[in-house]
Structure 1
């Protein structure tokens, strides 16, 4: 009986870890009805109900939770072992889809992915930029990248890339015409460009005096919806903008813009790559994470 139920046990674990039949069916590449049938067969075989189902939710019974706690570590070990054999036999293949904000794509991924692409020519890497909050499971993504405070619950997350700070920037021409603000309160006398997030919220202007973190409302007549538009507006002398450190490095090196208020910038910490808790971590994703972290000199978690 045990041998006959191994695949059904894996399906059962996936349902608990992903929280729904639909998400688990998508990961397992079966239809929800086929998955439901497999779970029913497992319950009939074990002669105990494992899951409580409604039209909107699924949750383990006490027996189901006890079974999951005992078998899930073994399932992860077994799946990982089999996946490792696949790597030795044929190398990494397949498609790896990532959902990332534009800032993370530029600062964390753009300088780091050349080595991974070179070493894994049979892996198709798809990086989809999206500054909104996306359900990566429903969207068919293998992983996403976000700051820690915006991570979806119930995900496995690993630090990725350098520590990030914001940067207030302006063009030399703008500063010549309007003067250089010496502290954040001076911004009330300047045209500060707003960045609009996909959900309709304006990006905050964050500052610190070394002890306290504070946010200032800006004063400006221009709102844009992309970091590239923000950079172009600043470069053209329309006003003062705020972007993440690393986004505007090329323009700073060319002298097109200059950073200001550098002593007032808070530390945002690092981006995190996150993915659903699975019975195993796909080898392509594991290799990608290791490659990017190695590029940025990261170890541990």
Structure 2
């Protein structure tokens, strides 16, 4: 009788949890075709279908549901035992999966992720950036990086630096032609680069005056869903942009962009690295947390 691997069982549980071969394949860092082959092989060995598959959906069969109910607790114990062993590694190794949003990824890629790879060459980092907030445990991530106010209450959270801010910016050429907005209401007469959120809604630009919040619906010739594209448009003098400060800090310092309405953009919650409590985390997990603490201290200094 052929023996089965942990990878096969992990595959079944990931597909059952995500309800999608594609999403499970991304979580497991394998191709969809390889995952499909793994499941087909396992089903052939067991002599029973674990999933009902159509071109549009994947659902557990009754046999698949019972399989997961019985296998999942034991598999969790096995992975915990493996984590215990990995925690004793002399040289940290293995893959860390991190979920964040694009702006945060750009801000800490060099200082945290790439620094980790430089110090610990046997560690691999798998980063997924998305606008929607996900359950990092259910989706198989080791860490999440989000604004502090978005971190789930049952997670351990570590601020990675000082408070963030928004920045409203434009080029000198644009302002010479269209004039300088001095209060948020002046933006109504300007070409603004609009941002589409992951849920399809348009971002309302957030301001504050004397503790009173103000939200503004702007208008303009271009709507985008990615800050790096909006930055290109603003640098081309298409209009005024609204960014996280970290995305345009260097442009402001170099004079490529002019900051506007600074008094109307108060501090926001800082970025946080967050993760669930783990009794025996692998060595790679521990050194990444230690490096994040080091980064936080350096930024606070």
Cross-structure match for 2:271: 271
Tell me the distance in 1 between the aligned counterparts of 2:113 and 2:75: 40
* Residue pairs, 1:92-241, within 5 angstroms: 92-241=92-241
Q: Quick check: 1:160–1:270 contact (8 Å CA) kept in 2?
A: yes
CA-to-aligned-CA distance 1:145-183 (integer Å, 9 cap, x gap) = 111332345333222233210000111111011011111
CA distance in 2, matches of 1:291, 1:266: 29
Assess, with a 3 A threshold, how the Cα gap between structure 1 residues 79 and 126 changes in structure 2: closer, same or farther: closer
Which segment drifts farther, 224-233 or 101-110? 101-110
In 2 relative to 1, CA 36–144 (structure 1 residues): closer, same or farther, beyond 3 Å?
closer
Cα separation, 2, equivalents of 1:225 and 1:197: 6
1:127-151 deviation digits (Å, cap 9, x = unpaired): 2222222232333211111113323
CA displacement at 1:191 relative to structure 2: 1.3
Structure 1: which 5+ runs fail to align? Answer: 1-20, 40-75
Separation in structure 1 between the aligned mates of residue 197 and residue 230 of structure 2, nearest angstrom: 12
Gaps of 5+ in 2: 1-15, 19-26, 29-66
- For these two proteins, the number of residue pairs brought into alignment is 236
For residue 149 of structure 2, give the secondary structure of its aligned residue in structure 1.
Answer: helix
Does the CA-based 8 Å contact 1:196-1:202 persist in structure 2? Answer: yes
- State the shift of 1:22 in Å: 6.1
TM-score (norm 2): 0.68
In 2, distance between residues paired with 1:38 and 1:271? 33
1:204-261 CA distance string (max 9 Å, x none): 3111223222222212232101001110111111111110112112323443211111
Q: Determine the structure 1 residue equivalent to 2:289.
A: 289
Asked if structure 1 preserves the Cα contact closer than 8 Å seen for 2:170 and 2:241, the reply is yes
Structure 1 residue 288 displacement after superposition: 1.2
Q: Secondary structure at the match of 1:197?
A: coil
2:84–2:281 contact (8 Å) kept in structure 1? no
Q: 1:132 to 1:80 in 2, by over 3 A?
A: closer
Structure 1 length-normalised TM: 0.68
Aligned CA distance change for structure 1 residues 277 and 167 (closer, same or farther; 3 Å)? same
What's the offset of the Cα at 1:36?
5.2
The verdict on how the C-alpha distance between 1:140 and 1:35 changes in structure 2, with shifts beyond 3 A counting, is: closer
Of 4, 24, 34, which aligns to 2:71?
34
**Cα offsets for 1:249-293 (capped at 9, x unmatched):** 232344321111111112112112222333343432232122133
Q: Aligned in 2, Cα 1:128/1:108: closer, same or farther, shift over 3 Å?
A: same
SS in 2 for 1:277: coil
